[in-house]
Structure 1
Amino acid sequence: MTFDIVIRNGTIVTASDVFTADIGITGETIDTIGHGLTGHHVVDATGLLVMPGGIDGHCHIEQEEADGTVHEDDFASASASALLGGTTTVVCFASHVPGRNIVTQFEDYLRRGQNSRIDFAVHQIVTRTDADTIEKGIPEIARRGVAGLKVFMTYDDFHLTDGQFLRVLDAAKASGLVVSVHCENYDAIRHMIEAHLAAGRTDAHAHATSRPPCLEREATYRAMTLAELVDHDIQIFHVSCPEVAEEIARARHRGVKVSAETCPHYLSLTEADLKRNGFEGAKYICSPPLRTQADQDGMWSYLRDGVIGIVSSDHCGYSLEGTSGKARHGRDADFSLIPNGMPGLGTRMAVLFDAGVNSQKIGLTDFVRLTATAPAQRYGLYPRKGTIAPGSDADLVLWDRTQQVRITNDLFQSRIDYTPFEGRLVTGWPAMVLARGRIAVENGQVLRKPTMGRFLKARSGPQD
């Protein structure tokens, strides 16, 4: 049999195995894995790792905010950045701003997504718990294939009370949807911000000291307790430090249905970056904030043992400049007025590979599990996505583990005007990327056009 494309002699890496073989692709899917395969187009992958295309399960792309602004990276630019970094699927967020019901906003977001170069699934943010949202909206978007719900325990425009969170958990359980949670204590953070400002602490580093680990730990414990009460499945987003991971491990030990993710910036940057001169520290403001070097060092064991099962970018790019950027209130604005978030779609896989695999903190199979297989399972996309197997979509990244690249923002096609990893030297970079059986990136050039991505209707609940 002659296949459309054969990836020959690559070292195939899945979440469980490392072996050398050929991959035969017919149309958009993997047809056969074997030896001596023939194809109309043959790609020699000798010396390269062949892994499932990355799945970034936490991306804010072209997302509308309550103040009327829209995240700067649109689907065309963000999906280009993703491809250049080896990611072939994203799971992003539909808003729930005042004045429009949740179904309308879900539909509007799907229309925005039609301009994506890569396949995408959608989380739905929930910011209010009126009857229309709980009784009609959530069941309807579940029917339409939403990947899950997201709630916040902080931020003025987003946070839910415990009672509201319980109503969302009940509705999610009835519809078979995972609830992902941003865990920080809203009232305590407001108290800390007021105290910092009263003391004249306005610098970027005050963002970290006003949101200490104990406030993330407390909110995580509370979220898991409420999920335990309802007996429903939740995911803790962007775990920043070991003491939060330890709470999650304890909850899992007593049977709570909880999973967790972290992000490359918590594994490679520290709160010292917030102390950079002038307005530079603003680039590193995100929530939860960056933690200490000791916290960073302590996170890796939780990735190896699966307590933290996913590494996502939490791509939430605000440029430094511009009317919606971090300097929107001026370069002398206090830390509480600076938008939270950093770009990371293009850098996620390379930074994790360099910081984790090259330093032997995680193995190759761990890398694939964290960046592709586990998010596919978590969001109901597996085995179509997240693995290399007959019948799976031919989303593949051919990875040169020896290539050294110094990260600069101009490597990507992002609309964001900076990367927090500017100047960082990494070893390991995509040599080629395929998306649904077609070469999407070659020689550093994006070949896949906007509108070629598809909405992925997720199956309810995690898939094994």
Structure 2
Amino acid sequence: MTAFDLTIRGGTVATDQSVFRADIGIIGERIAAVEPALPAGLRDLDASGRLVLPGGIDTHCHVEQRSGMGMMGADDWYSASVSAAFGGTTMIVPFAAQHRGTSLRQAAHDYAALAAAKSVIDYSYHLIVSETDPTTLHEDLVELIRSGITSFKVYMTYDALKIDDAQLLDVFALATRERALVMVHAENNDVIRWVSQRLLERGHTAPKFHGTSHVALAEAEATHRVIRLSTLFDAPILIVHVSASDALATIEAARRIGTQVYGETCPHYLLLTADAMDQPGMEGAKYCCSPPLRDAAAQEALWRALKDGVLQVVSSDHAPYRFDRSGKLPYGDETTFKQMANGMPGLEARLPLLFSEGVVKGRLTLPEFVALSSTNHARMYGIHPRKGNLSAGADADIAIWNPDRQVTLTAHALHDRTGYTPYEGTRVTGWPDTVVSAGRVIVEHGVLDAAPGSGRFIPRTAPLPFTTSRQPSEQARFYRSLALGQQAGGGDFGAAYGNAI
């Protein structure tokens, strides 16, 4: 009989499809067996009364990254990965950001070195593309995609990062050819700038006006526009951090007619409302993110969208800016809503919040929780079945979850370096007792046992939208070839458009 290095016995296993009683046997870094009854391994973990879940995967977090405004986040790869591990997350995928005038290739190289030296859990990273010059688009980006970085993010807002519609078309054409997923921050920059200018002229500078300036219409319009632009090439896109009801309705309508659009939301949009920004002094700045918090009606719409499959993933969008002049408040109490760093921490609290508010309160089933927090991330970004999966051959990334454990969230108890949490005092039900990463028990009894740099880079294959048998339309094929400088394809449509130009 095979001798296991580690066994997890007596627990209830939950996947994105089912919940069942089983033991898990691990050899080295991989799961070797999932069966009703296994013998004890060299090390044996008793999971009686516990849930045995795939480790969480957070595919939208900002780690050791400088914002477009020049603010450095509080967490480096070590502190962020430690915080993730304590919350049951065993893989993170943050962003290597290209800032204007810099090399995308160099940004990725430097970022990879930081991760390799510090992360205690497995990782990959996306790219942030802010330039579309020939070197960036046709050399650096192509090389990085082919090396296993198969997703990248673009912005429709923030003057220091945004690209225009013509640049978006260039990006979509290349992404479809190279089989990469484009993540889009969808907000109309001109609407936000116009409203912000009028607010500031009238002396409305308090944090609460951040929400006013990032009006829901800006998110809805940009979401509609980018979806329509993507259909020129039949390009798959993922709209990140969806917050507004109208934007959500646009995604739902587009999906109903077969458009390849996917969506993500975050715990803060599910649990917090815009009222949190309206507090004395600068306290409201702790709750300012982009897009901003909305209202209770938007929350309910987002929960329904998770249940109905309109949104596929829940990420933290962890943006850990300290509440001082180095982060949120560069000008102290004189900082206007337009000058402060946007974002809030949430990496460690993501899974407990989603479990407590989703599963415990009956909004989500346990398999839906697993899908939204782990398995769908793995599928979406090209790392399934290696990740997000509890079956023989998968990486042994596992959270042994105590469904009854109650924890009060406080900045002091969490492991990031932000110094505050927007969920201060919130009581959650459900927390991981033990976390296993690639066969290593890295968190047990509240103690970390993992060295900096012990996490592994995980190269990714083609994302979910490119693994189907779907073929692009003749229109999409023609415009892809046109965008990439190739000969227009044959057929009546291609010939007609070729003659027209």
TM-score band w.r.t. shorter chain: over 0.9
The 8 Å contact of residues 274 and 295 in structure 2, kept in 1 or not, is answered as yes
Instruction: Map residues 272-283 of structure 1 onto 2, 5 A cutoff.
Output: 272-283=275-286
Is 1:78 the counterpart of 2:80 in the alignment? yes
Equivalent pairs: percent with the same residue?
43
Stretch moving more, 62-71 or 143-152 = 62-71
Query: After the TM superposition, which residues 99-110 of structure 1 pair with which residues of structure 2 at under 5 Å, given as runs?
Result: 99-110=101-112
Tell me if 1:271 matches 2:274: yes
Write the letter of the residue equivalent to 1:8: R
Give the one of 202, 224, 229 matched to 2:227. 224
Taking the TM superposition and a 5 Å limit, the aligned residue runs for 1:206-225 are 206-225=209-228
- Alignment partners' CA distance in 1, 2:276 and 2:100: 35
State the match for 2:422 in structure 1. Answer: 420
Question: In 1, distance between residues paired with 2:252 and 2:74?
Answer: 36
Distance in 1 between residues matched to 2:305 and 2:87, nearest whole Å: 24
Alpha-carbon separation, structure 2, partners of 1:67 and 1:183: 18
1: distance between equivalents of 2:389 and 2:412? 30
- Asked if structure 1 preserves the Cα contact closer than 8 Å seen for 2:69 and 2:341, the reply is no
Per-residue displacement from partner, 1:330-372 (whole Å, max 9, x unpaired)? 1122111111000110000011111111110111001000000
Tell me the equivalent position of 1:389: 391
Bigger strand share: 1
Return 5+ residue gaps in structure 2 as ranges: 469-501
Partner of 2:33: 32
- Within the candidate set 240, 245, 248, 2:243 is matched to 240
Match of 2:10 in 1: 9
Taking the aligned partners of 2:229 and 2:113, their CA distance within structure 1 comes to: 34
| Per-residue deviation, 1:461 | 2.4
What is the alpha-carbon distance in structure 1 between the residues aligned to residue 102 and residue 90 of structure 2? 31
SS at match of 1:31: strand
Give 1:449 deviation, angstroms.
1.5
Which aligned pairs between 1:38-77 and structure 2 lie closer than 5 A?
Answer: 38=39, 39-77=41-79
Q: 1:198 aligns with which of 169, 180, 201?
A: 201
Q: What SS class does the counterpart of residue 11 from structure 2 fall into?
A: strand
- Give the conservation status (yes or no) of the 8 Å contact 1:142–1:460: no
Counterpart of 2:212, as a letter, is: T
CA contact (8 A) 2:68 2:160 kept: yes
1:406-452 CA distances to partner (integer Å, 9 max, x unpaired)? 00112222121111111101111111100001101111111112100
Report the counterpart of residue 339 of structure 1 in structure 2: 341
**Contact 1:138–1:175 (CA<8 Å) still a contact in 2?**
no
How far off its partner does 1:67 sit? 5.0
**Which residue of 2 is the match for residue 402 of structure 1?**
404
Secondary structure of residue in 1 paired with 2:127:
strand
8 Å contact from structure 1 (residues 380, 458) kept in 2: yes
Residue number among 95, 98, 107 corresponding to 1:96 in the alignment: 98
Structure 1 unaligned blocks of 5 or more: none
Cα offsets for 1:378-430 (capped at 9, x unmatched): 11110110111100000000111101100011222212111111110111111
CA distance in 2, matches of 1:24, 1:239: 39
Query: Structure 1: how far apart are the matches of 2:448 and 2:222?
Result: 41
Instruction: Kindly state the Cα deviation for residue 66 of structure 1 after the two structures are TM-superposed.
Output: 4.4
The within-5 A match list for 1:43-192 is 43-114=45-116, 115-192=118-195
The separation in 2 between residues aligned to 1:299 and 1:372, in whole angstroms, is 18
Contact 2:23–2:37 under 8 Å retained in 1: yes
Aligned residues between the structures: 463
What is the identity, as a one-letter code, of the residue corresponding to 1:112?
L
